[in-house]
Structure 1
Amino acid sequence: MVNVLFVCLGNICRSPMAEAVLRHKVAQQQLSGQITVDSAGTGDWHIGKLPHEGTRRILDLHGISYLDMMARLVSGDDFDKFQYIVCMDQSNGVNVRKLPGGDKRELMYFMDLLPEEELREVPDPYFTGNFEQVYDLINAGCDVLLDRIRSEKLQQA
């Protein structure tokens, strides 16, 4: 089983959008028994809340479920559970590294999946309001990540 964790600040915009999009792609490719996807935040303001209404709106528009998704904090325990920890920006990567064991863990940055893009961090639509732009980046990046998982992990199993 390959486990993927997306991390952003409050776990209500970017990381749950990425979780929902990748789950959708995994299900479409009939890989649900081989890949699990989760998300978490580095800040505790929204713990237990649903994804942001802008995230829900864009996911609804694309027919992607966010059922049972609730904001949670990233923890040191996640280092044992997830092979891929994907941070939406550098600030969240710094905060993940501060967790016990975080300094020894390899992290990914989402925009590294899209080297052709000028942006190096996924913009936070909580502040920008541009959920469409974030969805487009996440949709493209999740395709690349899924291809990477298929080549790196699933073929080894």
Structure 2
Amino acid sequence: MPATKVLFVCLGNICRSPMAEYILRELVAQQGLSQQIEITSAGTSGWHNGEDMHQGSKDILYAHNINTNGFQSSQVRPEDIAIYDHIIAMDDKNLQDLARIFGGNRLDKVYKITDLLPESEYDYVPDPYFSGNFSETYTIVHAGCIAWLKHWQNNRTK
């Protein structure tokens, strides 16, 4: 069975989506599922292409013992819609941008991470680049990653 491919998306690919990428990678590794799930991230803009993740994202991940080595920001490409099984955005603007980038194709596999958290008070992940609140972002993204992994585990054999 081929690996499930997950792409996390935010605006610049330096704060929220890399945080989600590395959190889910850690959760997947802890459960011995790294061969079954491939995870990456990208931004809808190309503003930070080739850059490392924001220091605030690195700091909060390090505080939770998550290594961030090897990250390099990239931009979503139109062909990503055919490559990834799950494309998980951080907010409604990301969803709008993805619909534009993908031309409305196969948007059934594109959704917000907060869609996985129906009991949450959040319907999007606030951008800590603007809010400065990396702890809040981590809390929401971590909960979303746990919910995604549980959903994947419950549905992979069906």
Q: TM-score range by the shorter chain?
A: over 0.9
Aligned partner of 1:118: which letter? E
**Residue in structure 2 matched with residue 43 of structure 1 by the alignment:** 45
Deviation, 1:104, is: 3.1
In the alignment, structure 1 residue 136 sits paired with structure 2 residue 139? yes
Aligned partner of 1:36: which letter? E
TM superposition score normalised by structure 1? 0.95
In the alignment, structure 1 residue 30 sits paired with structure 2 residue 26? no
TM superposition score normalised by structure 2? 0.94
**Residue in structure 2 matched with residue 73 of structure 1 by the alignment:** 75
CA distance in 1: counterparts of 2:115 and 2:52, whole angstroms: 27
Deviation, 1:102, is: 3.8
Aligned partner of 2:135: which letter? E
Q: How does 1:68-147 map to 2 (within 5 A)?
A: 68-106=70-108, 107-147=110-150
Deviation, 1:100, is: 3.8
Cα RMSD over matched residues? 1.1
Aligned partner of 1:81: which letter? I
Distance 1:102 1:48, change over 3 A: farther
Q: Which blocks of at least 5 consecutive residues in structure 2 are unaligned?
A: none
Deviation, 1:101, is: 4.3
**Residue in structure 2 matched with residue 9 of structure 1 by the alignment:** 11
Q: Which blocks of at least 5 consecutive residues in structure 1 are unaligned?
A: none
In the alignment, structure 1 residue 148 sits paired with structure 2 residue 145? no
Deviation, 1:119, is: 1.6
The count of residues paired between Structure 1 and Structure 2 equals 155
**SS state at 1:39 partner:** strand
**Residue in structure 2 matched with residue 61 of structure 1 by the alignment:** 63
Contact 1:76 1:102 in 2 (8 A): no
Aligned partner of 2:21: which letter? E
CA distance in 2: counterparts of 1:68 and 1:77, whole angstroms: 23
CA distance in 1: counterparts of 2:150 and 2:84, whole angstroms: 17
Contact 2:81 2:105 in 1 (8 A): no
